[in-house]
Chain A
Amino acid sequence: MSKKGDGSAVKDPGAEPTLGTNPFEGTLRRLREAFHSGCTRPAEFRAEQLRALGRFLQENKQLLHDALVQDLHKSAFDSDISELIICQNEINLALKNLQAWMKDEPGSTNLFTKLDSAFVRKEPFGLVLIIAPWNYPVNLNLVPLVGALAAGNCVVLKPSEISRGTEKVLAEVLPQYLDQRCFAVVLGGPEEMGQLLEHKFDYIFFTGSPRVGKIVMTAAAKHLTPVTLELGGKNPCYVDDDCDPQIVANRVAWFRYFNAGQTCVAPDYLLCSPEMQERLLPALQSTITRFYGDDPQSSPNLGRIINQKHFQRLRALLGCGRVAIGGQSDEHDRYIAPTVLVDVQEAEPVMQEEIFGPILPIMNVRGMDEAIEFINRREKPLALYAFSNSSQVVNQMLERTSSGSFGGNDGFMYMTLLSLPFGGVGHSGMGRYRGKFTFDTFSHHRACLLCPAGLENLNDIRYPPYSDRVQQLTRWALGSQSCTLL
């Protein structure tokens, strides 16, 4: 299997970028040495790190709230339910279950290995890199971190430079709580990220866009580093004729406009019949007014766009189709009103890229079949939603499409359930996490079989020479049963 000159079997220290040309060299070496020392392996060390992370959250709540206001104009309620509480839940779950998760999983033995001890050992990979985006900057940094620490890895955290307020708190305050031999925060923009990715990591966990996901995976391929990529896409939301438009409007609007639409699992666009559209529009208007008041710009419950670049991008999208609701914007405030667009063409930009803003285009379809066909022509999304009173319709949508996750008759409520994994498929990503799934993601599952040192007679049948009689016996014994060789 290995060609001649396959490469040194001994780890080549020269494979790392040389000191002085790469700013992360020293940090990474320190973390790697710490991992080799074994300090992250004992359960007590990991539990202490998790407890320290919990203390970071509790003792700096105001600081984090302020940072989230600065970055995304997030209200305290929104910050709590979408960031801080989620992180706290993850920490609590990990602390409660750490021993159970770390335990060797027994493997079932077959006929010939009944006398052995078989188990799967969960081992940390080593030095892992977590790259987080700006839209839920606390959540998307810390939730993967919880699993990585629980699994016993040393961690390099790279928060997004775009959510500057949160980046500052994570870089300056968080390391004071964790063991700095085994944890580091690195900062920078695309150039620094490129330098960081030249290094070898034992696992890379990336949340962001598909475009950058490809760059990360290509860099990882050079070192054969396994990756989890939490990407995005356009999440379709099918609204059947058979449903109450007001309830649908409530649910869709809440999930669409939360965090000013900057959510990877937000419903990106609506698919419904023209008749349903007629009923939905007034319902959506009513919902938006109820949620955000007559002047949404003054509502404390509506977020802002993260920066000018995205603001300009979104403002341009307002020119697609026709504005049915909203459409206002304010450059100084990076404010975009909760907007609904109709008469949108598939080729227009608003239907070509992930919107990631408070704009909801409605595309008309004549029924469920057309909706399914529309969805399946496009890249697999991170989330898919279907609204209908008929469970048959909901189930059909589920069975005949593919997406990271699926919500029936609601938005991304499933994100509150730590027993459900979260991840994409196709262009929306690979791998998954949350709860125990994060721990498993950051662990190598090592199959271990301990055979008895004696009882050699039982093995004789497998050794050559294979006389005719032995051959017959083996074929008979194994051909008729469902067990694997020996």
Chain B
Amino acid sequence: MEREVQRVRQAFLSGRSRPLRFRLQQLEALRRMVQEREKDILAAICSDLCKSEFNAYSQEVISVLGEIDFMLENLPEWVTAKPVKKNLLTMLDEAYLQPQPLGVVLIIGAWNYPFLLIIQPLIGAIAAGNAVIIKPSELSENTATILAKLLPQYLDQDLYIVINGGVEETTELLKQRFDHILYTGNTTVGKIVMEAAAKHLTPVTLELGGKSPCYIDKDCDLDIVCRRITWGKYMNCGQTCIAPDYILCEASLQNQIVQKIKETVKEFYGENVKESPDYERIINRRHFKRILSLLEGQKIAFGGETDEATRYIAPTVLTDVDPKTKVMQEEIFGPVLPIVPVNNVDEAINFINEREKPLALYVFSHNNKLIKRMIDETSSGGVTGNDVIMHFMLNSFPFGGVGSSGMGAYHGKHTFDTFSHQRPCLLKSLKREGANKLRYPPNSQSKVDWGKFFLLKRFNKEKLGLLLLTFLGIVAAVLVKGLG
């Protein structure tokens, strides 16, 4: 393991990942890989999650292609130095921010969108000029295997490598030193990653999870609301970090919500959901059993059918859920939607604030003031109002958590920034030493006064003209001295 990481580090130190042209070539190669080997990639995702090809394409591959294109278009601009505003003392100097790669970065993926959650960060890491070690989740075995097979065929084999393995291998990997770690997964392992990173002072981006609440106001079109929630909740069989985890609403709305979700499920997946090609399965037996245990003692309004052999759990809705029960204690990550009745929006806000900050928050209402209030009085990684999931889709938006749902953010330019060091630079000339005499000891009161003049930013308008004249005088004197 140490040797592999060393090899990658040597490759980075050679400097070949840095030129813009190289980065663009690698991104183009990645694009070719996704297009040419689409069938293999889709097959792997499909077999990991019992997903239809179309779903795998529309949920993962499209976003990857979009991200690569976005990067290719903007990278030339992003790599250039950005000049910054100067002050009187630095008026004649060059001051700018120069983005530079960090070095060797580690990307640890998750199993629920096993292709997207590896490749999307990888795109930004390559774009920022780094070498990358990729650790796909071992739970999505087939995708892990296909990534290990395909990436070396298209990308530089020493700069970007895939390391596969389970807990033991990941633990070993985390002992190595990296220049940044981006981890997608759960809070427990997130803490382990950060602790391992602390030993090397490695910065981290942690994309974690939590229970994303979904508040439904009285004043809304329930037909539309339930369609959108059904789509977001049961997509990927509920195994989405930003799926609406549970609903908060007034008790009187519960029955209607249940009815409409039931109708929508039928519309989306047919009478026999098990036979719909668009409905996925739970990733493995352990999670299947876990989700099943959440149903114990609950009032199942509809759904609840399961089949262990195929790891099938029907789209399920629970009503009158007690907040103290198990289903409300952990992120569900499955097709089970609890409804917790609250009396009003105040109660909903308190309920949310008593809990850990979630990765996403959803609020449905025609009343914009209410939506605003929800946003103002709570905190979460991100928010979508009157829909679910969608804030993930904008590549101009940072995507990340807060509190126990994570730290840092990525997507689009934010990935580039995450994997770069924006280095502040001030370049002076060796001339014009006269101007520096002001700062050198021995000091005097007049120097103190001049120091204040140059450094304090407070000017009032009447003095501005006088100061401008004085400044011009100084510049003239300095230039004369420099030229002389």
Contacts and interface: CB of A to CB of B under 8 A. Distances in A.
A joins B in a complex? yes
B195 A108 contact: no
Contacts of B364: 453
Contact of A447 (B185, B376, B394): B394
B25 interface: no
B235 to A, nearest CB: 9
Contacts of B151: none
Contacts of A126: 379
Contacts of A463: 227, 231, 267-268
Which of under 10, 10 to 19, 20 to 34, or 35 or more describes the interface residues of B? 35 or more
Interface stretch (A23-31, A153-161, A177-185, A409-417): A409-417
B228 A120 contact: no
Range class of the A interface residue count: 35 or more
Contacts of A389: 430
Contacts of B189: 3
B331 A402 contact: no
A404 to B, nearest CB: 7
A466 to B, nearest CB: 5
B221 to A, nearest CB: 6
A8 interface: yes
Interface string B376-398: 11011111111100110111111
B211 to A, nearest CB: 5
A224 B403 CA distance: 7
Nearest to A421: B424
Interface in A417-468: 417-422, 425-427, 429-432, 444-454, 456, 459, 462-466
A100 to B, nearest CB: 14
Interface string B351-393: 0011110000000111010010001110111111111001101
A77 B448 CA distance: 6
Contacts of A92: 456-458
Contact of B100 (A1, A402, A407): A402
Contact of A125 (B57, B185, B220, B402): B402
A448 B425 contact: no
B276 A464 contact: yes
A250 interface: yes
Contacts of B396: 107-110, 118
B439 A254 contact: yes
Interface string B170-201: 00000000010000111111110011011101
A414 B95 contact: yes
30 contacts: A1-B186, A4-B290, A4-B293, A4-B330, A9-B328, A36-B353, A77-B443, A77-B451, A78-B443, A108-B394, A109-B396, A113-B390, A113-B393, A213-B201, A214-B199, A250-B436, A254-B436, A293-B442, A402-B100, A417-B86, A430-B201, A444-B379, A446-B379, A447-B391, A447-B394, A448-B384, A451-B387, A464-B269, A474-B58, A485-B59
Interface of B: 13, 15, 52, 54-55, 57-59, 62-63, 65-67, 69-70, 73, 84-87, 89-90, 93-95, 97-98, 100, 102-103, 110, 112, 179, 184-191, 194-195, 197-199, 201, 203, 206, 208-211, 220-221, 223-224, 227-228, 231, 239, 241, 267-270, 276-279, 286, 290, 293, 323, 328-331, 333, 353-356, 364-366, 368, 371, 375-377, 379-387, 390-391, 393-399, 402-404, 406-409, 421-430, 433, 436, 439-443, 447-448, 451-452, 455-458
Given A409-B429, A446-B375, 17 more contacts: A2-B188, A2-B209, A4-B293, A77-B441, A218-B198, A251-B436, A290-B440, A405-B424, A408-B94, A408-B425, A413-B426, A417-B87, A450-B386, A451-B384, A453-B221, A465-B270, A482-B69
